[in-house]
Amino acid sequence: MNSKLPDSAPRSPIIPVQLRLDDKFRFRCHKGIACFNKCCENIDIMLTPYDIVRLKHRLGVTSREFIDLYTVDFQMDGHGTPGLKLRTKENSTACINLTPEGCGVYEDRPAACRYYALGLVSMRKKDAPRDEDSYFIVREEHCLGHLEPVVQTVCDYRKEQGVDLYDEINHEWRQIILKKRSSGPTVGRPSERSFELFFLASYDPDGFREFVASPGFGEVFDLDPSFKQGLMADEVQLLRFGFRLLRQVLFGEKSIPLKPGAAQMRIARYQQRMAQLSTGRAEDLADAQDKIYETLGD
Ligand code: SF4
Ligand code: SF4
């Protein structure tokens, strides 16, 4: 089973036909099928933030424990944007969650597993404000589901698999990845610190909750107390807030108010330093953002 990055180009065994939501395709997977479990015996599954929220609860572990025990790192792009893939069993290509009875986390399986045998491609045309989704069929030889006499629209399949909820929650995150790739030199290569923040906000909700609750964060960002309380209690809300913070740090989109006193003094101090370096270079701006970020943990 292969998951695709949001803008990855189709390649074999992918059928190079773009499907839209109303397009129909033939496929059905069920427990009695002869190939049952085959797709989980050789996996390459990229995880999204909401996958991790669901799986860590399912498995009864913290997000840090989930990362350590159930994932492997990879880089999503040439800049080194951190990604996580689902781990396989030791000395095997089979998914760590696979049991003889089937998926051990079925109700909370990742979005990529829900999509299969469809793949999702998100692309943003030049100068377009938003990306466009389309779908493609993954036809692997071992998968007999393509021979089953069931035809459905992409839209119905997504609903049946519950992947529409995953896409809705992960949407902003995918937008960030696409924007970062399409921005090129105007944003520049994100610094190590912004990658750390990306990792924390994307994959480690327990660590990110502690970060938002920390005194350093409270000194810089001006959050309404009831809003902050909501973040502490609701991981989906916390994820969405993390995506806003990432947009602020990576792209300078100021949607989270800063406290006028402490934060602005710090920002002015660092801006002054950066101006002295006679820059304007994107790396320097990223460094300046890092310095601001570093102070949050003071
Ligand atoms: S999480 Fe479940 S459905 Fe997905 S690859 Fe693993 S065993 Fe298969
Ligand atoms: S039909 Fe395809 S998706 Fe379903 S169990 Fe078989 S190989 Fe996996």
pLDDT in tens, 86-102: 999 999 999 999 999 99
Q: Which domain holds residue 250?
A: 190-296
Q: Look at residue 6 and tell me if it is in a domain.
A: no
pLDDT score of 149 more than 60: yes
Residue given tokens 């909700």 in the structure block: 205
Query: 40 C-alpha to center of ligand 1: Å?
Result: 5
pLDDT score of 78 more than 90: no
Protein residue with least CA distance to atom 7, ligand 2: 143
Q: Is the CB of 103 under 6 A from ligand 1?
A: yes
Strand (E) or helix (H) holding 25 = strand 24-26
Name the domain boundary from 123, 155, 182: 182
If asked whether residues 38 and 122 sit together in one domain, one would say yes
If asked whether residues 50 and 166 sit together in one domain, one would say yes
Task: Select from 289, 241, 233 the least CA-distant residue to 266.
Answer: 289
Query: Which atom of ligand 2 is nearest to 38's Cα?
Result: 7
Residue 290's pLDDT band (cuts 50, 70, 90): low
Q: Of the given ranges (63-72, 233-242, 257-266), which has the lowest mean pLDDT? A: 257-266
Q: Is the CB of 47 under 6 A from ligand 1?
A: no
Q: Is the CB of 35 under 6 A from ligand 2?
A: yes
Query: 77 C-alpha to center of ligand 1: Å?
Result: 24
Tell me whether the omega of the peptide bond preceding residue 13 falls within 30 degrees of 0, making it cis. Answer: yes
Query: 3 C-alpha to center of ligand 2: Å?
Result: 14
Query: Which atom of ligand 1 is nearest to 1's Cα?
Result: 5
The number of folded domains in the chain is: 2
If asked whether residues 231 and 140 sit together in one domain, one would say no
If asked whether residues 242 and 152 sit together in one domain, one would say no
Contact by Cβ (8 Å): 17, 136: yes
Please give the pLDDT value at position 259. 86
Residue 114's pLDDT band (cuts 50, 70, 90): very high
Q: Look at residue 2 and tell me if it is in a domain.
A: no
Q: Is 50 helix (H, G, I), strand (E, B) or coil?
A: helix
Burial level of 116, CB count in 10 A (0-12/13-18/19+)? buried
Q: Is the CB of 84 under 6 A from ligand 1?
A: no
Maximum alpha-carbon separation in the chain? 69
pTM of the predicted model, to two decimals?
0.84
Phi, psi (rounded to 5 degrees) for 118: -105, 155
Q: Is 78 helix (H, G, I), strand (E, B) or coil?
A: coil
Query: 135 C-alpha to center of ligand 1: Å?
Result: 20
Q: Look at residue 4 and tell me if it is in a domain.
A: no
Q: Look at residue 22 and tell me if it is in a domain.
A: yes
In terms of pLDDT, which residue wins out, 216 or 7? 216
Q: Is 122 helix (H, G, I), strand (E, B) or coil?
A: strand
Query: 38 C-alpha to center of ligand 2: Å?
Result: 6
Residue 8's pLDDT band (cuts 50, 70, 90): very low
Please give the pLDDT value at position 276. 60
- Ligand 1 pocket mutation, candidates 88, 105, 138, criterion most atoms within 8 A of CB: 105
Name the domain boundary from 163, 182, 201: 182
Average pLDDT of the segment spanning 2-21: 61
Nearest ligand (C-alpha, residue 1): 1
If asked whether residues 164 and 197 sit together in one domain, one would say no
Q: Look at residue 168 and tell me if it is in a domain.
A: yes
